[in-house]
Structure 1
Amino acid sequence: MGRGFLLILLLIALPAAAQIYKYTDAAGNTAYSNQPPDGVKAQAVELPPLNSVERQAPVDPPSPPAPQAQPGTLYEALELTGLPTEEALRANNGTFTVSVLIKPRLQAPHQLRLLLDDQPYGQPSNVPILQLVNIDRGEHRLAVQVINGENVIRQSPTVTFTVQRVHKP
């Protein structure tokens, strides 16, 4: 098997190593061939070496440096909207959404994380509309943080609100 494979490789490589000849045909045109024609004076052509490219390992472009802003200075505005502060929030099943006002837009890889009663709530997200589900009735505190991994970039002011739910006996 090894010798047969070697023979096949040699047969494939032979045309690449063949000699090229230059001559003038009967009509006076310059012609090239891999065999010198009979009865015609042919000149061997020295070909330059074949171009080859060595494969190089792919190089990842350098990642841009992370902004080194002080916490809170990257975003000029961050606040929760859509929560009533003067009256109770009526949510019979305890489910409601809040919106986040953020300027400028949230930058990658930053995410938004809600804090409900000073504890992280739900999964961090990059969407500025956040849903809360099955929140108990009563008074709560809610804030939103811009995070990068576990680092807090900025936190909104805390909003205190009351959830009103229908009590079914």
Structure 2
Amino acid sequence: MKGWLLAGLLLVALPAPAEIFTYVDAQGNRVFTDQPGSGNAKRVPLAPGNRMSANPGSAKPAPPRPQAEAPPLYRYDLLRVLVPEPDATLRSSAGELIVSVTSEPGLQRGHRYRLLLDGKPTAEPGLSPVFALTNVDRGSHNLSVEILDQQGRTVERTANQPFHMLRISLAQKRQVKPCALSDFGQRPECPLKDKPEEEKNPFLKFF
């Protein structure tokens, strides 16, 4: 046991490339040495060791690069939907409406308007404060507008403004104003396929 302890100390003390030899002396003790010529010494195979830095704490990770701070958000005094008015009822067979917005002060450089219908963008952000919508479903909806800066951040956004769309069917239009013969092919609610056949003059068959 004592011999193995000495061997461990010797392994720690010797440099990595050194070789270790062992033999049994005349008293029967196991001896470890770095001298190959002592008695019938045999080389002790060594496992490869892990090399570590003499001062592992000296290698410090590189500090993170400072990120450029985004400019603070610009604040508008006013942003609102002008048209349609809140809770307005609109009538359109095609579900069409024009939306107009305004802001105070005016739109700043690099900023864009974006219109939302029921919380979803209706188109890409742009400079125009007027939006044309088509094929809006019948029923109640909510409009809101927001202003985006150059980084795509929302600078301002209005609250949801409700409106109601009434889409008049073609049949309802024809009830209000029946189709005359001259209206077929001219009015959307009076297609040519629905045009009645003109009555033939009964006297023409004799000619």
Q: TM-score of the superposition, structure 2-length normalised?
A: 0.45
Provide the residue aligned with 1:21 in structure 2: none
Number of residue pairs the alignment of both structures matches: 102
Unaligned runs of 5+ in 1: 1-64
Match of 2:108 in 1: 107
- Normalized per residue, the structure richer in strand is 1
**1:121 aligned partner, one-letter code:** T
The residue aligned with 1:94 is 95
Task: Using the TM superposition, give the Cα deviation of residue 107 of structure 1 relative to its aligned residue in structure 2, in angstroms.
Answer: 0.8
State the match for 2:160 in structure 1. Answer: 158
1:68 aligns to what? Answer: 72
Distance in 2, Cα, partners of 1:84 & 1:102 = 16
**1:49-81 CA distance string (max 9 Å, x none):** xxxxxxxxxxxxxxxx97523xxx621100001
Quickly say closer, same or farther: Cα 1:94–1:115, change in 2 above 3 A: same
% identical equivalent positions: 31
**Deviation string, structure 1 residues 123-165 (Cα, Å, up to 9, x no partner):** 2111111111211111001100001243111101210110111
AA matched with 1:131 = A
Separation of aligned partners in 1, 2:72 and 2:139 = 40
Q: Look at both structures and tell me which one has the larger radius of gyration over its CA atoms.
A: 2
Inter-CA distance 156–87: structure 2 relative to 1 (3 Å threshold) = closer
4+ runs of 1 displaced by more than 6 Å? none
Instruction: Name the structure 1 match of 2:146.
Output: 145
Q: What residue identity is the alignment partner of 1:168?
A: L
Deviations 1:11-41 (A, max 9, x none): xxxxxxxxxxxxxxxxxxxxxxxxxxxxxxx
State the Cα distance separating 1:167 from its structure 2 match: 2.1
Equivalent residues in 2 for 1:42-81 (5 A)?
Answer: 67-69=71-73, 74-81=75-82
Matched residue of 2:122: which SS?
A: strand
Amino acid at match of 2:72: Q
**Alpha carbons of 1:166 and 1:151: their partners in 2 closer, same or farther (altered >3 Å)?**
same
Inter-partner Cα distance in structure 2 for 1:157 and 1:140: 13
Q: Which residue of 1 aligns with 2:137?
A: 136
Higher normalized helix content (fraction of residues) = 2
Check the 8 A contact 2:115/2:122 in 1, yes or no: yes
Contact between 2:95 and 2:165, CA under 8 Å: does it hold in 1?
Answer: yes
Question: Aligned AA for 2:157?
Answer: Q
